[in-house]
């Protein structure tokens, strides 16, 4: 199985209308930097830690490496136990989100936030049970 993020070439990317028709609906997603406006897919994949294009056996700690996460985990926010009520903003440390790890396990975990950068842009500090990078 191949973890996908930046594997597609620009010529093979779907058009906006085709993308809307084929896009799965729901709260879970694979991190896909092609959808980030104003940045190339290559700059995102290098900037944010991820396992894009990796074969899963190459991931060093599959029990800690995230494969899939809920949308609010990117910030982080929580749809489950929000610390800010219905507003669910601004971002905050230890927001709980459902994630799936590269080893197939699914869990509700706390997501690290440094107070400045979106959670997905860096691996968390020691003490958290996950990481984005595969090494």
| Confidence (pLDDT) at 95 | 93
Asked whether residue 131 is assigned to any structural domain, the reply reads no
Q: Looking at the 3D structure of the chain, how many domains does it have?
A: 1
Q: Do the domain assignments include residue 20?
A: no
pLDDT of residue 27: 53
Residue of 84 and 47 predicted with greater confidence: 84
> What DSSP character marks residue 8?
S
Average pLDDT of the segment spanning 88-103: 91
Q: Is residue 134, in this structure, part of any structural domain at all?
A: no
Residue 62 has which token pair? 């599959």
Note the pLDDT of residue 114. Answer: 94
Q: Is residue 81 part of a domain?
A: yes
76, 111 in Cβ contact below 8 A?
yes
The reported pLDDT for the residue numbered 133 is: 93
Q: What is the mean pLDDT of residues 27-51?
A: 55
* Cβ atoms of 131 and 124 closer than 8 Å: yes
Round to whole Å and give the CA distance between 53 and 64.
18
pLDDT of residue 64: 96
Residue at 9 is within a domain: no
7 within 8 A of 53, measured Cβ to Cβ: yes
In a domain, 58, yes or no: yes
The pLDDT tens digits for 8-30 are 333 433 444 544 555 555 554 45
Over pLDDT 90: what percentage of the chain? 42
């Amino acid at each position: 199985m191949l973890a996908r993020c930046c594997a597609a070439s620009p010529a093979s990317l779907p058009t906006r209308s085709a993308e809307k028709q084929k896009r799965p609906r729901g709260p879970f997603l694979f991190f896909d930097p092609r959808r980030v406006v104003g940045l190339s897919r290559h700059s995102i994949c290098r900037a944010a830690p991820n396992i894009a294009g990796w074969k899963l056996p190459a991931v060093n700690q599959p029990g800690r490496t995230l494969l899939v996460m809920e949308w609010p985990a990117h910030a982080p926010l929580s749809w489950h136990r929000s610390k800010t009520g219905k507003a669910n903003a601004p971002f905050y440390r230890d927001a709980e989100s459902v994630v799936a790890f590269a080893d197939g396990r699914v869990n509700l975990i706390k997501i690290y936030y440094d107070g400045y950068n979106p959670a997905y842009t860096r691996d968390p500090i020691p003490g958290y049970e996950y990481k984005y990078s595969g090494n």
